[in-house]
Structure 1
Amino acid sequence: MSAACEANHPYSGGMTSRFPAYIGGRDVEPADGRYVHTISVRAVLEDTFGALALKRDLDLGTREPEAAGGALAGACALADPAMGRAAVEAAARARPGWARVPVADRVELGVRIGEGLSRHRDRITELLVAEGLPHDIAGPMLEEYRHTDFSRETLGWCADQLEFVHETGRARSVVRRVPDGVVCVNPPQNAALANALFGITALLSGNTVVVRAPRGVPLATMYTLREVVVPLLDELGAPPGTLNVVCGPPMTADWLADPNVDDIVFVGGSAKGLAFEQEAVAAGKKPILELAGNDCLVVWHDADLDGAVASIAENFRLSGQICNVPNQVIAHPDIADELIDRLACLAADTRPGFPDEPGVVLTPVLGAGQFFADITDAVDRGATVVHGARRLEVDGKPSDTGLFVEPTVLRIDGLARAATVNAVRDETFSPLLPVVVPTRGADMLDEVLAFVAGNRYGLRNSFWTGTQRVVDRVVEEVTGCGVLNVNDSHSAFRPYLPTHGGTGLTGGAFGEANFLMLRTTRIQGVHAVSPGGVS
């Protein structure tokens, strides 16, 4: 364990994370000495105003860390613009040497990163929980990344796409993917570590990488990249600057203006992301967008309802504040009443709590105003509130000022009506679950498939049905999304399949399923004839 990263500082409570920036293979302190401090979410929920005042005072240096008690989870150096530029320059210097490392060695690095996530699972989970991710979600998330983005199966498949060789006599024709160069990654506040892990897979195709850890939740990202990934790069002999990690404000404007930057991975909302896409293209950068999702889950009359309900319940994880969960359900009229009743009971049993408590999946909702606006809009357009629509305190009691919102189930009859409802048309980013019941008719399946195809977003869709003919139609016709699941978990990650990416408002003009190991490369053709008789 790096003494610079994890040490017994004067923060009471024992082991506390304190991270300088990591640039060009070394620790870098900010010239002004500024650090941003992370107060545990438990402390925030116990005393919101006190915790926010504590953070302010620590950030300003008007209170010593000793005064924080166990509320202080850690601190990260606040990168200034000069440090941001230095990180990109270091990546540019490392670029030629890292690109020469054999693909097989880089794939093995990816597998070892996955193994490292398992070895460090307890400490990473502890930091994620301090930052607000429920314990029951944090650990399994790390294992999912180990078995997907960092699995030998997925990485081997991606490596196979990097080069094709055909030889005829003295002629050798090659179609290859070459690394773009310097890739900058901008993880979001709501899923910082998950998207940082996704972002660093660009290393495995020969790119060098700069990761900006968001100021609000930097600890798990900084720890994981510093304590899991950096030692493995050092063992491999990677040039200093292959991976650089800083904590600071958004840096996309600086990256757009920097001639050393080739690709920018932007994770955020659709409106900002699509505007950024245009700016990136104008600046000559490749934009790789991971934007909003508005996933649809369809339950047919002969579906396994137990499996479908479990899959729909993924909507409540993190109070719906992640992209790859079902945002709307289409329920066949034959099973709609039973399904809605079961979902209402499930919503009622899903309670708030502190992130370190077992069974907790809900998190505070920052956009509660939009949550209630979406409910009002739906009701005004004919929807019925089946359950929910209240603020809750951490103990589950209704409150006008609670930081949580109650998981909410809506019923909307008719596809035409549903198409006018904001909670169906757009991502809600909350535990709001509209269940749409289509009108019976001989062409109902056609109408449902057309409705799904009309979704402006394109992250994931899933179907539950017991009829092979329906499965075949779904697989053939539902093509406008990054991942399609049939009769299985909506949100789960699986080897060989992408974890990110999609079309439309999810991925922009160039959107598709995202294997970042491939998206951060470009195709080149090479034809070479060996000179006769020359060795």
Structure 2
Amino acid sequence: MTFKSINPATGVMRAEFSAHPPAEVERLLEQAWTGWRAWAATTMEERSAFLVRLAELLEARADDYAALITGEMGKPVGEARGEVIKAATGARHFAEAGPRYLAEEPIVGTPSSIIYEPMGPIFGVMPWNLPFWQVLRFFIPAAIAGNVVLVKHADLVQGSAQAIEDLVRDAGGPAGLYTNLRVRRDAVSGIIADPRVRAVTVTGSTGAGRAVAEAAGAHGKKAVLELGGSDPYIVFEDADFDKAVSLGIVSRFSNNAQSCIAAKRFLIAAPIFDAYCAAFAKAASALVIGDPMDPTTKLGPLAKADLVETTTRQIADAVAAGGRIIAGGKAMAGLGNFFEPTVIVGVDPTAPIASEEFFGPVALMFPFTGEADAIAQANATDFGLGGAVWTRDPERARRVVRQMEAGAIFINDFVRSDPRAPFGGVKGSGFGRELGPLGARELTNAKLVWTGA
């Protein structure tokens, strides 16, 4: 049984990787368990020094890793390099701030405090769309806390999966600190059930996340879920129009429009709706599409052929629900999984497709009349990951933000993760937090210590 790494821009197979047989999985689980005991005994200073070395290697190898990422999942190489540098920034941040985030915390008015201790080996089920950052954003806080990780990475980015394991080793990480498990989906529940695994974290689809959470719950284990999203991007009539358009393009089409935290439903104030849609469609149509290794390319191929099929089906559903295509609308002829940047207006906001997650270059545009209508449309989805609000009125921004059902809201900006700030969702977008002080403590045992007289 093998995993194939296929270049989505050409359809050419880059490499094959053999799956780990059961005996090797057992060996690696034992190695992680033994490695955790050793890693948990290290000092915070030693862990911070490791993260600094990790950051240095990420920076030194950024071009090589970027080429690997682009070759496996197709994002423009400049964005791939930015992903690697972001991971380095995260490592440096937790090297400096991690000891503070995890310091003993006195409880005022009591003779007690909370100490944050490692839980043990953490099993991560990771996606392909940000193959370095999404793995390292959970590994880095887990490692500074004294945990070790085992990772089942996505089938199509096994080159990146192996590169991350090699990176951790080259930075001085001991055996068992980071373990790459080349296993199929049907092996996941058995690994979660293993008593040496103490918690599980998953980034992926809502269906995959719920299956992992069910398996974790059956064995009384903690789960952290970062799942899909259908983020609203609300633009009021007093917004900075040009900036709301340009950053809307960035939010929707970055990462080849394959991101859970991306503007997918554009809610535009009725007085500026036609003008905004026209400007957005013009900017989307001007995106340079082509070879993702070309630095001038802004939109590369979708990572998998089945995403082309899914996006085509979703566009047909949108048109059936009253939608009118004003830009793009179809897959591109020739080699690779390329798809035109697409803008659709007129979809019935109550139709199921209106709140379905698009993992392809499609933007749905909806008008709204007043704050209440904008909030109702923003919340009319099973997802609750992120959202954006554009207005020059800070009071209105705060009113709207407080009524939106999401884990992160950005005012006059687009949604993204930052190592300094906690990130995660609500509703169908999952639970638990990564990054920032909350992420540092998420995969720890918050132990109460009470001192009597």
Query: Mean Cα displacement is larger for which, 285-294 or 150-159?
Result: 150-159
Give how far 1:516 is off: 4.2
- Give the match for residue 486 of structure 1: 411
1:437 aligned to 342, 354, 367, which one? Answer: 367
Matched, 1:232 2:171: yes
Q: Aligned residue for 1:134? A: 76
Q: CA deviation at 1:243?
A: 2.0
Deviation (angstroms), 1:465: 0.9
Distance 1:154 1:104, change over 3 A: closer
Distance 1:161-1:306 versus aligned 2 partners, 3 A rule? farther
Letter in 2 for 1:246: L
Cα deviations by residue, 1:366-408 (Å, 9 ceiling, x for unpaired): 323332332222222222221121110358xxxxxx7322111
Task: Please list every run of 5 or more consecutive structure 2 residues that lacks an aligned counterpart in the other structure.
Answer: none
- Do residues 497 (structure 1) and 421 (structure 2) align? yes
Please tell me the residue identity of whatever aligns with 2:64. Answer: R
Q: Which residue of 2 aligns with 1:469?
A: 395
Which of 384, 388, 391 is the aligned partner of 1:458?
A: 384
- Worse overlay, 343-352 or 513-522: 513-522
Q: For 2:105, which of 159, 164, 168 is the aligned residue?
A: 164
The structure showing larger relative contact order (alpha-carbon pairs under 8 Å, at least 6 residues apart) is: 2
Task: Look up the match of 2:134.
Answer: 195
Query: How far has the Cα of 1:326 moved from its partner?
Result: 0.8
CA distance in 1, matches of 2:239, 2:99: 34
2:47 maps to what in 1?
106
Q: Which of 285, 295, 317 is residue 231 of structure 2 equivalent to? A: 295
8 Å Cα contact 2:75/2:256 also seen in 1: no
Residue identity matched to 1:352: I
Query: What is the aligned counterpart of 1:125 among 66, 85, 97?
Result: 66
**Match in the other structure for 1:223:** 163
Distance 1:155 1:485 in 2: 26
User: Normalized against structure 2, the TM-score is what?
Assistant: 0.89
Indicate if the aligned counterparts of 1:184 and 1:263 stay in contact, CA closer than 8 A: yes
Q: Which of 338, 341, 366 is equivalent to 1:407?
A: 341
Task: Determine helix, strand or coil for the equivalent of 1:358.
Answer: coil
Which AA in structure 1 matches 2:137? Answer: F
Corresponding residue SS for 2:409: strand
Deviation of 1:246 after TM superposition, in Å, equals 3.2
Distance 1:152 1:451, change over 3 A: same
Aligned pair count reads 444
Report if aligned partners of 2:47, 2:95 keep a CA contact under 8 Å in 1.
Answer: no
- CA–CA separation in structure 2 for the residues paired with 1:242 and 1:372: 42
**Contact 1:110–1:155 at 8 Å: present in 2 too?**
no
Match of 2:324 among 376, 384, 390: 384
Distance in 1, Cα, partners of 2:2 & 2:236: 53
Determine which of 200, 204, 220 is the counterpart of 1:284.
Answer: 220
Quote the residue 2:87 is aligned against.
145
The aligned residue for residue 448 of structure 2 is 525
Q: What amino acid is the match of 1:363? A: P
User: 1:305 corresponds to which letter in structure 2?
Assistant: F
| CA distance, structure 2, for counterparts of residue 503 and residue 167 of structure 1 | 30
Letter in 2 for 1:474: V
1:366 aligns with 2:306: yes
Q: Take 2:400 and 2:91, find their aligned partners in 1: how far apart are those partners?
A: 29
Aligned equivalent of 1:256: 192
Q: Which amino acid aligns with 1:325?
A: A
Supply the distance in 2 between the matched residues of 1:419 and 1:157 (Cα, whole angstroms).
Answer: 45
**Other structure's SS at 1:350 match:** coil
How far the C-alpha of 1:488 sits from its partner, in A, is 1.7
Distance 1:526 1:420 in 2: 53
- The CA deviation at 1:97 is 2.2
TM-score, structure 1 as length reference: 0.76
Shift of 1:155: 5.7
Find the structure with the greater CA-based Rg: 1
Shift of 1:325: 1.1
Q: Are the counterparts in 2 of residues 154 and 497 from structure 1 also a CA contact under 8 Å?
A: no
| Structure 1 position 277, deviation (Å) | 1.2
CA distance in 1, matches of 2:103, 2:316: 50
C-alpha RMSD of matched pairs (Å): 2.6
Instruction: Name the aligned partner's letter for residue 83 of structure 2.
Output: M
In structure 2, the CA distance between the partners of 1:275 and 1:113, relative to structure 1 (3 Å rule), is same
Cα deviation, residue 457, structure 1: 1.0
Which runs of 5 or more structure 1 residues have no equivalent in the other structure?
A: 1-33, 56-71, 396-401, 531-535
